[in-house]
A and B are shown apart, each in its own frame.
Chain A
Amino acid sequence: QQQVKQSPQSLIVQKGGISIINCAYENTAFDYFPWYQQFPGKGPALLIAIRPDVSEKKEGRFTISFNKSAKQFSLHIMDSQPGDSATYFCAGAGDSNYQLIWGAGTKLIIKP
């Protein structure tokens, strides 16, 4: 009930391409879905977040697509750049205690 499943585990994309990372959740009470970006040697930092009242949210080259009926959401990185190379984590929250439930992470490498 509490899991967030993230895929793929790792991803290699050419510079300029589209990077897509997918997450699926089980708890229908979740109503907050953030994506975090982590560079080596740093803590994760919030990249973008969505609530289920919208199906898509865009911030610059980063877009979250949300499918409530399928209980899935995904991160799209357009025009991927080498500086986007990092580990990305999705998460969900919304149960009574609002604890974030994390995906396992995706290591993204953008090839120049």
Chain B
Amino acid sequence: KAGVTQTPRYLIKTRGQQVTLSCSPISGHRSVSWYQQTPGQGLQFLFEYFSETQRNKGNFPGRFSGRQFSNSRSEMNVSTLELGDSALYLCASSLAASGSADTQYFGPGTRLTVL
């Protein structure tokens, strides 16, 4: 089975621009979670989508948004980029049937640099 794929792997943007990141989960996985990882800050949860619905949301401003398509692929969008948005953005997929904790499988991440 192919793993979680994320595109692009690296991205350089300037302040004020917007960016869209893509995640393709493992086949059969219906849950996709997004995380922001910065040095010294660990994994900060952004949001989780399950069957095209946002099921959980972290404490990030509204500039961060996402969506999930019927094939479980997910996109994350950040508008009006700020310097502090520079980070590794990780996507994780799981089977995650409602009401059960399940192993999350992570992609390699997208490294976003905001200049």
Interface size on A, residues (CB 8 A): 22
Which residues A75-100 have CB closer than 8 A to chain B? 89, 93-94, 97-100
Are A98 and B100 in touch, CB under 8 angstroms?
Answer: yes
**Is A105 within 8 A of B42, CB to CB?**
yes
CB pair B42–A44 under 8 Å, yes or no, is no
Interface residue B53 (Cβ < 8 Å from any Cβ of A): no
A97 & B4 in contact (Cβ 8 Å cutoff)? no
> How many angstroms from the CA of A53 to the CA of B108 in the assembled complex?
33
Q: List 19 A-B contacts (CB under 8 A).
A: A32-B101, A36-B106, A43-B90, A43-B108, A44-B90, A44-B106, A45-B105, A45-B106, A46-B104, A46-B105, A93-B101, A98-B99, A98-B100, A98-B101, A99-B48, A99-B56, A100-B33, A100-B45, A104-B42
Q: How many A-B residue pairs have CB under 8 A?
A: 48
A94 to B99 Cα, complex, angstroms: 9
Alpha-carbon separation in the docked complex, A97 to B33 (Å)? 13
Which residues of chain B are within 8 angstroms of A34 by Cβ–Cβ distance? 103
Q: How far is the CA of A102 from the CA of B101 in the complex (A)?
A: 13
B66, CB-defined interface residue at 8 Å:
no
- A44 vs B107: C-alpha distance when bound (angstroms): 8
- Cβ of B83 within 8 Å of any chain A Cβ, yes or no, is no
* Proximity bits, B46-74, A CB within 8 Å = 1, else 0: 00100000011000000000000000000
